[in-house]
Amino acid sequence: MGHDSGSSAGAGVESLSLDLLAHALAGVRDPRDRKSCRLASRAFARAEAASRRAARVLRREALPRALRAFPALSSLDLSACAGLDDASLAAALPVRLARASGVGWRGLEALVAACPRLEAVDLSHCVAAGDREMAALAAAGLRELVMDKCLGITDVGLAKVAVGCPGLQRLSVKWCREISDIGVKLLAKKCPELRSVDISYLKVTNESLRSVSTLEKLEDIAMVSCLFIDDDGLQMLSMCNSLQSIDVSRCHHVSSLGLASLIDSQRFLRKINAAHSLHEIETCVLSKLSTIGETLTVLRLDGLEIFASNLQAIGSTCKNLVEIGLSKCNGVTDDGIVSLVAHCCDLRTIDVTCCHLLTNGALAAIAENCRKIECLRLESCPFISEKGLEPIATLCSHLKEVDLTDCRINDAALQHLASCSELLILKLGLCSSISDEGLVYISSNCGKLVELDLYRCSAITDDGLAAVASGCKKIRMLNLCYCTQITDAGLKHVSALEELTNLELRCLVRITGIGITSIALGCTSLIELDLKRCYSVDDAGLWALSRYSQNLRQLTITYCQVTGLGLCHLLGSLRCLQDVKMVHLSWVSIEGFEMALRAACGRLKKLKLLGGLRSVLSTELLQMLLACGCRVRWVDKPLVYEG
């Protein structure tokens, strides 16, 4: 019957033109649904092949086929592609290569030669990439380049890019610690089109800002934790008056004075991030805020000394604020929040993490004034209770994200929150008083929930999970660490969450291989799994994972009761596995480790192993791991059983 309905639907679809089908497909967002369409009808498959613009390739072997199948691709994400090497790159497109540590300059050279229209490359976290890779890329005339944490890149590599890509518009060199003022100076001189520059964590000084200020089109500058930059630098930067976004967070030598002088010359500023830089926000800044009061939408002042009067001034000048960050700000009180939200009715995100003085009064004011609020971060606000959450839940129906970690709320609070049917992210970590009852409330109405954090909610049992699994089918990230009452039966319920990608089960001492097997069978999209200190999990669990969890990328099996055979099987079979933490596997012999690692060594990018193994594993193996771009973290923690 199923077959019949499929074929009839297919016949109807066949008669439609390709572009109509493509248009219809564009409305289908979920990749799973798209896949169903493809499988249901050849016509859809053709339409998809002709119209698909973006692809994310998970396996190296599939890359050539994907490129053949989707000729219209304009963006290709290879950041999750296991074992990517130079040979595979020779035929790719606009590329995202983040964390592809095996990629070298030869591959990039081939890539650049093969794609004359290459415009954007993301090389972030390719820690091995250096000047030579940059030289290869520079030939492409890129517009966008992200090379965060490419540790080998020096001024010379930056100069190569600057000279080779005069049309560069966006550049991020975050964490490229070798880059200095000289390189930035040349960049500013050679790339006048630059709109966005990220020089965070560099050892650059005010001189760099002087150079950058000559960029006439600069809109966005980030200089997180540039410790050699001070007020003089910001003064120089004020030469450039087209800025839209400034990030000076964690620049410890920047003070209110410098920020004020910079703001003074700007007319279009939308975002200011001054988190953890100024000690306190002084009146000079507040008075200058009025010049950009109309445009400013995002203001982050995390970690500063903020008083009620400050918040009142901000509220009265910046009426269009959409996001305010006050995380870890001393002095934030109910009065302050009340006076802030009185004028800012467009606020959608409020971050008051660790503002310990806040009480339900603040929440009431927020609920009254900011009906559009979507994200509320209230972690560690201990005086907040269900009475405060009630007005929020009833008045702010758009609420999507709530962080109540460590807030000592109870099931009644969850009962109120359950009325927010748009809720996507709910963090309830360390709320040890919530029980299955609360989860039942949530699951009854929050069907869109994507992320649920129940870290150390130790009152949760299998029944609660049953409710969640039946009500919140869309959950992708689930944290059940230290919910020690959970057993294999609970995991059986969890296995109904087909879209689950991240699952943390740390220290669930009652679960065994059977529970893991059910997870592996049900949650086929699983990408990350944490089984640390699940002392009862054995080889059976690993075999299930190696058979069914083909998308698993990150796995922690520290302290699990697995043997060498299970490990070999696991590492030999999982083709997407890139990051494995396996410390204190007492049942695995040295030969077991050796064999397992050899079986996987082309794919692994990160490993965490017991320090003692370093000397007993063969040097040949370690060299091979190194050559494949795998980084090994050797830990020397003592074997301690807890839970």
Q: Which residues bind other proteins (CB under 8 A)?
A: 59, 61-62, 64-65, 83, 85, 87, 131-132, 135, 138, 155-156, 159-160, 163-164, 182-183, 185-186, 189-190, 539, 543-544, 546-547, 550, 565-566, 568-569, 572-575, 591, 594-595, 598-603, 618, 620, 623-624, 627-628
Tell me the closest approach of the beta carbon of residue 108 to other proteins, in angstroms: 14
Tell me the closest approach of the beta carbon of residue 539 to other proteins, in angstroms: 8
Tell me the closest approach of the beta carbon of residue 593 to other proteins, in angstroms: 12
What does the alpha-carbon distance between residue 566 and residue 180 come to, in Å, rounded to a whole number? 49
Q: What is the dihedral of CA 544, 546, 548, 549, to 10 degrees?
A: 110
Q: Toward other proteins, which CB reaches closer, 428 or 625?
A: 625
Instruction: Output 31-38 pairs: Cβ under 8 A, ≥24 positions apart.
Output: 32/499
Tell me the closest approach of the beta carbon of residue 570 to other proteins, in angstroms: 10
Q: Toward other proteins, which CB reaches closer, 185 or 492?
A: 185
What does the alpha-carbon distance between residue 356 and residue 232 come to, in Å, rounded to a whole number? 35
Tell me the closest approach of the beta carbon of residue 52 to other proteins, in angstroms: 17
Give the number of residues written for the chain.
643
Neighbour-count burial of 275, counting CB atoms closer than 10 A to its CB (0-12 exposed, 13-18 middle, 19+ buried)? buried
Q: Toward other proteins, which CB reaches closer, 26 or 627?
A: 627
Helix axes 360-369, 334-343, angle to 10 degrees: 0
What distance lies between CA 64 and its chain's CA centroid? 28
Q: Toward other proteins, which CB reaches closer, 73 or 284?
A: 73
Q: Toward other proteins, which CB reaches closer, 167 or 382?
A: 167
Q: Toward other proteins, which CB reaches closer, 397 or 618?
A: 618
Q: 639 is written with which tokens?
A: 């074997």
Nearest to 76 by CA among 131, 133, 39, 114: 114
Q: Toward other proteins, which CB reaches closer, 68 or 633?
A: 68
Q: Toward other proteins, which CB reaches closer, 180 or 410?
A: 180
What does the alpha-carbon distance between residue 25 and residue 42 come to, in Å, rounded to a whole number? 13
Q: Toward other proteins, which CB reaches closer, 16 or 62?
A: 62
Q: Toward other proteins, which CB reaches closer, 204 or 332?
A: 204
Tell me the closest approach of the beta carbon of residue 413 to other proteins, in angstroms: 44
Tell me the closest approach of the beta carbon of residue 294 to other proteins, in angstroms: 38
Tell me the closest approach of the beta carbon of residue 87 to other proteins, in angstroms: 7
What DSSP designation does 220 have?
Answer: E
Contacts of 15 (CB under 8 A, 6+ apart): none
Q: 339 is written with which tokens?
A: 């006076």
Cβ neighbours of 589 (radius 10 Å) = 12
38 neighbors 48 (Cβ within 8 angstroms): yes
Q: 523 is written with which tokens?
A: 């949650």
Q: What is the dihedral of CA 188, 194, 198, 204, to 10 degrees?
A: 10
Tell me the closest approach of the beta carbon of residue 160 to other proteins, in angstroms: 6
Query: Could you give the angle at the alpha carbon of 263 between the alpha carbons of 260 and 269, nearest 5°?
Result: 150
List strand residue ranges (DSSP E) for 430-489, in order.
Answer: 451-453, 477-479
Q: Toward other proteins, which CB reaches closer, 230 or 594?
A: 594
For residue 220, list its beta bridge partners: 196, 245
Q: Toward other proteins, which CB reaches closer, 213 or 435?
A: 213
Tell me the closest approach of the beta carbon of residue 551 to other proteins, in angstroms: 12
Q: Toward other proteins, which CB reaches closer, 471 or 513?
A: 513
Tell me the closest approach of the beta carbon of residue 109 to other proteins, in angstroms: 12
Helix axes 31-40, 2-14, angle to 10 degrees: 90
What does the alpha-carbon distance between residue 106 and residue 16 come to, in Å, rounded to a whole number? 45
Tell me the closest approach of the beta carbon of residue 145 to other proteins, in angstroms: 16
Q: 252 is written with which tokens?
A: 């410890």
**Burial track 328-367 (b if 16+ CB lie within 10 A, e otherwise):** bbebbbbbbbbbbbebbebbbbbbbbbbebbbbbbbbbbb
Q: Toward other proteins, which CB reaches closer, 416 or 603?
A: 603
Tell me the closest approach of the beta carbon of residue 130 to other proteins, in angstroms: 8
205 neighbors 180 (Cβ within 8 angstroms): no
Ordered DSSP codes for 515-559: HHHHHHHH-TT--EEE-TT-TT--HHHHHHHHHH-TT--EEE-TT
Q: What is the dihedral of CA 204, 207, 209, 210, to 10 degrees?
A: -170
Query: Could you give the angle at the alpha carbon of 621 between the alpha carbons of 617 and 625, nearest 5°?
Result: 120
Q: Toward other proteins, which CB reaches closer, 325 or 541?
A: 541
Tell me the closest approach of the beta carbon of residue 516 to other proteins, in angstroms: 13
Q: 473 is written with which tokens?
A: 């089918």
Q: 434 is written with which tokens?
A: 């919530």
What does the alpha-carbon distance between residue 91 and residue 67 come to, in Å, rounded to a whole number? 8
Tell me the closest approach of the beta carbon of residue 139 to other proteins, in angstroms: 11
